Chains A and B, each alone.
Chain A
Amino acid sequence: QQQVKQSPQSLIVQKGGISIINCAYENTAFDYFPWYQQFPGKGPALLIAIRPDVSEKKEGRFTISFNKSAKQFSLHIMDSQPGDSATYFCAASIATDKLIFGTGTRLQVFP
């Protein structure tokens, strides 16, 4: 019940396309859902986050869509660029404490 399931494992997108990564959770007590971006040899960096009282949050080309009833949330990267090539992790936490991470999605954007 503490798991966060992430898909797909890998994603190949052409430059300018839309990248979509999905996550699902079981524990309805989760109240904070961040996305982290990790480049090779670097630690994860917070990209964007959402709380369950809103259905969508947008920051630049990155959008989180949240479906509370389905217990799913997704990351959309609009106009994907080669510089977006990285591994993306969704996560969830209760009361901003321990983060439970998904298994990651390796995104490759080709020019």
Chain B
Amino acid sequence: EPEVTQTPSHQVTQMGQEVILRCVPISNHLYFYWYRQILGQKVEFLVSFYNNEISEKSEIFDDQFSVERPDGSNFTLKIRSTKLEDSAMYFCASSVPGQGSSYEQYFGPGTRLTVT
């Protein structure tokens, strides 16, 4: 069964450093997403991406964040200058809107980002 994959599974970085989190969405999916979950809190939407551009972003997704689909398979989230409060589990998801009209999104296993 096709699945969303994410690398690395765990990333440790120092405050102020840039990190890139990588995702390979399900191959025939058209919409791509990033969510994050700070320990003990809700899963929160960050950004959605369709047709090579951001379609929606949350207040969390400020100028320090960017997304890119550099080729036909990868989808990346970049944090330019990490802060302690960026420490969280980051989930990539993908979907095929309209298929079954159920809006289901399929999530990867996540990348645990630890900023020290």
- Asked whether A and B interact, the reply is no
Seen from chain B, the residues whose Cβ lies within 8 Å of a Cβ on chain A are: none
